[in-house]
Amino acid sequence: MKKLLLPLLLISGTAFGQTKLRPEIDKKAAAIEDKVIEWRRDIHQNPELGNNEVRTAKKVADHLRALGIEVQEGVAVTGVVGILKGGKPGPTVALRADMDALPVSERADLPFKSTVTATYNGQETGVMHACGHDTHVAILMGVAEVLAGMKNELQGTVKFLFQPAEEGIYQEGVTSWGAKQMVEEGVMKDVDAVFGLHIGSQMEVGKIGYRSGPAMAGVDNLEITVHGTQAHGASPWSGVDPIVTSAQIVSGLQTIISRNVNITQTPAVVTVGAIHGGIRHNIIPEKVEMIGTIRTFGDDQQNLVHRRITEIATNIAESAGGKADVNITKLYPSTINDPALTQQMAPTILAAAGEGNVIINELITGAEDFSFFQREKPGLFISLGGMKKGGEPTKTPSHHTPDFYIDEGGFVLGVRVMSYFVVDYMGTKK
Ligand SMILES: [Zn+2]
Ligand SMILES: [Zn+2]
């Protein structure tokens, strides 16, 4: 047995202590597929917006408790933390699933389609798992069941993080995310490494994608107010025109990407999404307000872009005799996969997905609040295929849209790879 096992382990590239548990994981994950699908459909049909995931949280907590896992509820409002202590000492590995749905009305014709409605920002709206977080919850519930069933063999502790509000809470005076709040409540203190996945509606079932280092963008909101001096539109020389100044600022901001960012390393985005100023064709207004979004990859680039925005806006306004107030609000940090952890886990991903099914992701200018966990401890965030086999990505509805659809055939791979992460990491950690 030993003689046989060693060459196999070397072939897979990971001669780790606990890779021997993989066949057992495969068996248990396959056996649980129907249950994972059933949980997912139930959660899909009963979606809840950020910080309102009461029913979902209860379902998770009840499930974990039934497995003999220690449960904490009400973490970061509606979050659930499960702690599974293995039979042997070792590191603590955190696995994360986000639970929140979105204010989107589902259009897809499914037997488990959501008909839930809610009030969001004062508007009546449908509620839908239009980002696939229902699948993340169901997959992690499956992982909990698989690992609880082999608890005595585990060399360490598994910490399950079922977090609320990944999509953020944007209310008067409050801007926050479930992961940020969970970190503030101390969930990462005893964790050695954290893993998470995101289902992808435009990536084929059976595939896993990942990327070392910066993988998803950091997102910041931009607000610029340009103050001028009001004047008659017929005599601009008697005032300071904030509209002309704003036009120069918008053009100036575009030079940050073309002239300041090292485009051989990582791209960045500065978008002005709205400009408001003026009321009549012959009145030069007193001020113009513009808002936009900034996407960067990593702290250095973020600092550079922020500094240049402020310099360009304030100096252009000053040169016109006016003034610009720049206000940048940091939202999500960049999702950065720890390079050493990513390298260590690459063979694990290959072992789970199989040859030909691993994709090195392109940079994504969208964001994920998983980044808050990664700022605390080394973390790896992967994408899991959720598009039906043979589908055409460009013709498949994207996330956050009413026709968003996930093929259920990839869930078992999700359960397997997350479980592999745990046992492989535990096996290598000294
Ligand atoms: Zn989303
Ligand atoms: Zn999402």
What pLDDT does 7 receive? 41
17: confidence class by pLDDT, cuts 50, 70, 90:
low
Burial class for 1, CB neighbours closer than 10 Å (0-12, 13-18, 19+): exposed
**Mean predicted confidence (pLDDT) in 222-229:** 98
The DSSP symbol for 183 reads H
What pLDDT does 175 receive? 79
Q: At 417, list the tokens.
A: 């790879």
**Mean predicted confidence (pLDDT) in 197-203:** 97
> Cα separation of 336 and 97, whole Å?
17
**Mean predicted confidence (pLDDT) in 47-67:** 97
> Cα separation of 147 and 402, whole Å?
35
Report the amino acid identity of residue 232.
H
Distance 131 CA to ligand 1 centre (A): 5
Q: At 222, list the tokens.
A: 């931009």
pTM for this prediction: 0.91
Q: Are 241 and 320 in contact (CB under 8 A)?
A: yes
Distance 230 CA to ligand 1 centre (A): 42
What pLDDT does 16 receive? 56
Query: 20's torsion region: left (phi>0), alpha (psi -120 to 50) or beta?
Result: alpha
Q: At 161, list the tokens.
A: 């993080």
Note if 286 is an active site residue: no
35: confidence class by pLDDT, cuts 50, 70, 90:
very high
Tens digit of each residue's pLDDT (9 = 90 or more) over 157-192 = 999 999 999 999 877 777 789 999 999 999 999 999
Rounded percentage of the chain residues whose pLDDT exceeds 90: 91
Find the Cα–Cα–Cα–Cα dihedral 365, 367, 373, 376, rounded to 10°: 40
Q: Is the pLDDT of residue 3 over 80?
A: no
Q: Are 387 and 204 in contact (CB under 8 A)?
A: yes
Distance 12 CA to ligand 2 centre (A): 31
Residue 177 sits at φ, ψ, to 5 deg, of -140, 150
DSSP string, 56-112: HHHHHHHHHHHTT-EEEEEETTTEEEEEEE-SEEEEEEEEEEE--BBS----S--TT
Of all ligands present, the nearest one to the C-alpha of 199 is 2
Q: At 141, list the tokens.
A: 């519930």
> Cα separation of 217 and 234, whole Å?
45
Mean pLDDT computed over every residue of the chain: 94
What pLDDT does 5 receive? 43
Note if 332 is an active site residue: yes
Of all ligands present, the nearest one to the C-alpha of 200 is 2
Tens digit of each residue's pLDDT (9 = 90 or more) over 75-112 = 999 999 999 999 999 999 999 999 999 999 999 889 99
- Active-site hit among 210, 332, 405, 425: 332
- Tell me the sheet residues that pair with 75: 79
What pLDDT does 19 receive? 84
121: confidence class by pLDDT, cuts 50, 70, 90:
confident
Distance 100 CA to ligand 2 centre (A): 9
Tens digit of each residue's pLDDT (9 = 90 or more) over 230-274 = 999 999 999 999 999 999 999 999 999 999 999 898 999 999 999
Q: At 69, list the tokens.
A: 């896992």
